[in-house]
Amino acid sequence: MSTAENHASRRDVLKAAAALTVAFWLPRGAGATQQGAEGAAGSALEPNAFVRIGADDTVTVLAKHLEMGQGVYTGLATIVAEELDADWKNVRVDGAPADAKRYNNLAFGPMQGTGGSSSISNSYDQLRKAGATARALLVTAAAQRWKVPAADVTVTSGIVEHKPSGKRAQFGELVADAAKLPVPADVKLKDPATFKLIGKDAARVDSRDKSSGTAMFTQDIHLPGMLTAAVIHAPLYGANVKSFDATKAKAIKGVKSVVAFETPVRSGVAVLAADFWTAKKAAELVSVEWDDSAAFKRSSPELFAEYRELAKQPGASARQVGDVAKAFGSAARTIEATYEFPFLAHASMEPLNCVVRVAAQDCEVWNGEQFQTVDQAAIAKLLGLPPASVKLNQLYAGGSFGRRANPHSDYLLEAVAIAKAAGVSEPVKMVWTREVDMRAGFYRPMYVHTLKAGLDQDGKLVAWQHRIVGQSILAGTAFGGPGLDTSSVEGASTLPYDIPNLSVELHTTKLAVPIQWWRSVGSTHTAFSTECFLDEIARATKQDPYAMRRALLSDEHTRHKAVLELVANKSGWTQPRGKDEVWGLALHESFNTVVGQVVQLRRMANGFKLEKVICAVDCGLAVNPNIVAMQMESGIGYGLAAALSGAITLKDGRIEQGNFDDYSVLRMNQMPAIDVHILPSTNKPTGVGEPGTPVIAPALANALAAASGNSIRTLPLAGQGITFV
């Protein structure tokens, strides 16, 4: 493996970057020149923006997407390496620079960014072509050198060969010649039946660095002269700094300055010091007077009460099928339920941070970048610079779950505003404490859903009314539009079940609590309310949850049917089970991927044991089945944490949680065994980073309800008298 060496060179590059003020990502060549390892700069083959082959045989894939745990560096590299027929041992990955022209997310349009579980799906064709182009150039270079027909040249695992003559060469021996050739416009892609890497479990490219503490996160950046900033945010959203007294803070040795800052998102005070601990200690000694006259001062219980009232009124129509009012009028029986969801924090392991160097003519940023184009434009605007003068250096992100793709670039602008307010030319590393991170907002919004079902005399589902109340994640951002907010209703408006009369309605509320997408966005709540309500209907009509779903899926939902059957078969749903075995099922599509899960609980003397989760997924062709399984496991764990205990609550406008003691997350002893089954598919890949997440909570709630007969209608489960052992 070359990953350890890879890291060493990343570090050297970083030092070079600091000293020479050149981009972090760029000097693969510069680093090589310094080290003399990769030959003279310019001898590499770079036929396109995504692949570079060095004279030392190293294949570097430039990843336009952020690696935040989802395995995308490995997935993207696998696609390139497959068509290139590279030796996987020689493949490494660098984060691409910010450049929307070359590195835009094809699913987002003219914008570079990572999200919506789109990385592999939007890159699949693009990177196959990138790899195949590089391969074609190597083949042509070899054919010309050996004076043989190109058609007789083969490439296998990094070796270019002309078998009849026995001539062979490694990639590195051919790059100088190949670099002189015209890049072909069209190249032939492989027959998927011949894939050697795609669909096989290539080892992750980042495992070694991440198991040895050498992977570089923003938190780990040290630059010459760098200052560290600790911040003080207002305790209330919408409060502003009126004045502050930093006398005591400034008396601390090592404190460089204390400044007020303001961004379009918030104002606050920052302490800049030589190191974090000094800055944090000093920040605790700053007394700030806040102007909270316009601040948000409400509490969660009253907000839920208000939402419940709203849910009694018709909302804006998100989807309408048939005549719901008429159907309810003639229904033999109706069932109603109200579901409630709290705010949720992303709570990534790496508290948010950002390193910036602000100069008169340019700005350089070190960050786990999820929203390059948005962040670049926002920083450029704040500094009055052209966007191209804002250089973004890509690093690993210690989680994100959506948080780093902030439509307001909140934490990046904060770091820039602090450096600007302090008037320092040295790099500034802004480090949020866990408490600052957790209270800074940009939560998954709170929601109330009401559902009403109409049944005919035979118990057949004839009417379905679904009302959703909550803030719009998209409103007020560049992604919002004049129409109904689709991100609030996705998963509900796209209900796959065949119901003749259906109405999905939305009340979009406005609160000053900052909100944002959180792993699987609208599905985080719509999967729960729809799948739990379906089980309520099943219980009321004494139907089997699996049989009922299967009967309700129309022929057009073949993928849903296949996933449902797969998870039922693999879990043994239709087989007899013991009286202490209580199971729950849920099925949901998000980001074009269908996931079904069965939760297997065992009733014990002192509570429930969550023994196992069976997960079936149709994500099209699985580029790396092992990583697909990892993402299902990860999504289940993340969704389970929220289901069990995730809740951000407000009291008079203050966030009541601050750290992992009052915002509990999943721990080792709570993690069930998980079996993942991938539906074989030849369709193009679809997303896997998010779709595993929203299915676990309804599957678990349905199991608990099956055990007790009592429906679960509020999340989290903590405080509802349910014990897990």
Partner 1 sequence: MLTLDINGKKFETDAEPDTPLLWVLRDHLGMTGSKYGCGKALCGACTVHVDGAATRSCVLPVSAAATMKITTIEAVGNSTVGKAVQDAWIAENVPQCGYCQSGQVMSATALLTTNKKPPDADIDAAMSGNICRCATYVRIRSAIKRAASALA
For partner 1, the binding residues (CB under 8 A) are 68-71, 203-204, 206-215, 217, 219-220, 222, 228, 253, 274-278, 347-351, 396-401, 431, 433-434, 626-627, 630, 633-634, 636-638, 640-641, 659-661, 665-669, 671, 673-674
In the bound state with partner 1, the residue whose beta carbon lies nearer, of 412 and 438, is 438
**Shortest gap between Cβ of 338 and partner 1 (angstroms)?**
30
Choose between 71 and 95: whose C-beta lies nearer to partner 1: 71
Is 492 within 8 Å of 333 (Cβ atoms)?
A: no
Q: Which is nearer to partner 1, 378 or 676 (CB)?
A: 676
Distance of CA 31 to the CA centre of its chain: 31
Adjacency order of strands within the sheet including 153-156? 153-156, 159-162, 167-170
Which CB atom, from 69 or from 522, has the smaller least distance to partner 1? 69
The owner of tokens 């209330």 is 236
| 195 versus 276: smaller Cβ distance to partner 1 | 276
DSSP character string of 29-45 = HHHHHHHTSS-STT-SE
Contacts of 373 (CB under 8 A, 6+ apart): 98, 100, 104, 110, 111, 112, 113
Q: Which CB atom, from 604 or from 673, has the smaller least distance to partner 1?
A: 673
**Secondary structure (H, E, C), 403-430:** CCCCCCCHHHHHHHHHHHHHCCCCCEEE
User: How far is residue 111's CA from residue 387's CA, in Å, rounded to a whole number?
Assistant: 13
Cβ atoms of 373 and 100 closer than 8 Å: yes
Q: How far is the CB of 663 from partner 1 (least distance, A)?
A: 10
Helix axes 3-20, 28-35, angle to 10 degrees: 100
Q: How far is the CB of 58 from partner 1 (least distance, A)?
A: 20
Measured CA to CA, the distance from residue 560 to residue 549 in angstroms comes to: 10
> For residues 83 and 220, which CB has a smaller minimum distance to partner 1 in the complex?
220
Q: Report the nearest approach of partner 1 to the CB of residue 76 (Å).
A: 16
Show the tokens assigned to 101.
């022209």
Q: 294 or 673: whose CB is closer to partner 1?
A: 673
Residue 716, CA atoms < 13 Å, CB-side half-sphere: 22
Question: Smallest gap, in angstroms, from Cβ of residue 214 to partner 1?
Answer: 7
CB of 226 to partner 1, least distance (A): 10
Q: Considering Cα of 441, then 695, then 472, then 519, what sign does the dihedral take?
A: positive
- Token pair recorded at residue 396: 């690993």
Q: How far is the CB of 612 from partner 1 (least distance, A)?
A: 11
In the complex, minimum distance from the CB of residue 187 to partner 1, in angstroms, rounded to a whole number: 31
Residues sharing a CB contact under 8 Å with residue 207, sequence separation 6 or more, in sequence order: 3
Which residues does 6 contact at the CB level (< 8 Å), separation at least 6? 92, 209
CB of 563 to partner 1, least distance (A): 21
Amino acid at 707: A
CA distances from 680 to 169, 588, 625 (A): 37, 18, 10
Structure tokens at 342: 């709290």
**What's the min distance (Å) between Cβ of 361 and partner 1?**
30
* Site of tokens 């505003």: 417
Helix, strand or coil, per DSSP, at residue 312: coil
Nearer to partner 1, 538 or 623 (CB): 623
Decide whether 273 or 553 has the Cβ nearer to partner 1: 273
Sign of CA dihedral 270, 410, 342, 433: negative
The span from the CA of 219 to the CA of 429, in Å, is: 8
The C-alpha angle 643, 646, 650, rounded to 5 degrees, equals 140
Task: Establish how many alpha carbons lie within 13 A of residue 567's alpha carbon, considering only the half-sphere containing its beta carbon.
Answer: 34
Q: Write down the least CB distance from residue 60 to partner 1, Å.
A: 20
Nearest residue (CB) to partner 1, 324 versus 431: 431
Identity of the residue, 347 or 430, whose beta carbon is nearer to partner 1 in the bound complex:
347
In this complex, which beta carbon is closest to partner 1, that of residue 480 or of residue 658? 658
Q: Is the Cβ of residue 254 or residue 480 nearer to partner 1 in the bound state?
A: 254
On whether the CB atoms of residues 573 and 600 are closer than 8 A, the answer is no
Cβ proximity to partner 1, 166 vs 213, nearer residue: 213
> Which of helix, strand or coil describes residue 673?
strand
**Smallest gap from residue 215 Cβ to partner 1 (A):** 5
Instruction: Choose among 17, 340, 53, 4: nearest CA to 169.
Output: 53
